[in-house]
Structure 1
């Protein structure tokens, strides 16, 4: 049973009623490696590898007594996001240690790799492609974005028609 639906993982917030009923809440201060793994969808062996490579700090304690913090979960979330964006592990390590917000330029889709996405038609010749696995926007935010784009398009289209009619006079 997964405790969180990744990538909607948000620190200090619950994702659904099912999450609220689970025994594990992200508002906890400490996690075992298995809890951290389940919450972030990162295998324990990968968590250990990231620690070994110096990408993220180690836990407090050792062995079965090892405990991970919310900061570890945040780092793993960023690692996953940056990996999807095509960053190398060395670059990710640098980004984490810089501790600064990073704007990510999403890489183009790979040839021959099927990736599901939503295709929203706004007007003739205008569409938006949304890959929910690569964005941190929830469905409500995506709807707001689409409405905003649609409104801007209508405004610009009206302006273009006015300019076109002025030129033809």
Structure 2
């Protein structure tokens, strides 16, 4: 099943304004949404495009240079820049369970949004298995004490 995002949701996910997103659309930096008007929606490919644009902007590239890179079929990935004191960094917090949060730096993770979703689901499943096993072992130990 394909995830659909509204323009507001997509802008929020990438931490840009809707106005900036519309500007990128107008400039052809990202592909057009699916559908028209109020029914328009965006998908994981749009999210990937925006993450790549943000990564390149962080590396200091102009929008003109980014547009030229996006036109290439084999656009290079830029090396991750190490943050310096005073730099502002956008980090996503993925809540896995009470007291368990995964922090993801999208500029350094170098994973697609689909890969991140797969990783998140695998971590959630693993956590649930571990806690379920611990709960079962606790019950078995209680049974032994009762005998």
TM normalised by structure 2 equals 0.53
CA displacement at 1:101 relative to structure 2 = 4.3
CA RMSD of aligned residues (A): 2.9
Q: Where does residue 135 of structure 1 map in the other structure?
A: 108
Q: Where does residue 87 of structure 2 map in the other structure?
A: 115
Task: Say which structure is richer in helix.
Answer: 2
Q: Where does residue 48 of structure 1 map in the other structure?
A: 22
Call closer, same or farther: CA 1:116–1:91 in 2, change over 3 Å: closer
Q: Deviations over 1:19-42 (max 9, x none)?
A: xxxxxxxx7432111111122212
CA displacement at 1:90 relative to structure 2 = 1.0
Q: Deviations over 1:119-168 (max 9, x none)?
A: xxxxxxxxxxxxx6752279xxxxxxxxxxxxxxxxxxxxxxxxxxxxxx
CA displacement at 1:50 relative to structure 2 = 0.3
Structure 1 ranges of 4+ moved more than 3 A: 105-110
Aligned runs of 1:1-169 on 2, under 5 Å? Answer: 28-105=2-79, 114-115=86-87, 134-136=107-109
CA displacement at 1:85 relative to structure 2 = 0.3
How many residues align structurally? 96
Q: Partner of 1:135: helix, strand, or coil?
A: helix
Q: Partner of 1:79: helix, strand, or coil?
A: helix
Report if the CA contact (8 A) 2:35-2:41 is conserved.
yes
Report if the CA contact (8 A) 1:36-1:68 is conserved.
yes
Deviates more, 1:67-76 or 1:37-46: 37-46
Q: Which runs of 5+ in 2 are unaligned?
A: 90-104, 112-147
CA displacement at 1:116 relative to structure 2 = 6.5
Q: Which runs of 5+ in 1 are unaligned?
A: 1-26, 118-131, 139-169
Call closer, same or farther: CA 1:115–1:136 in 2, change over 3 Å: same
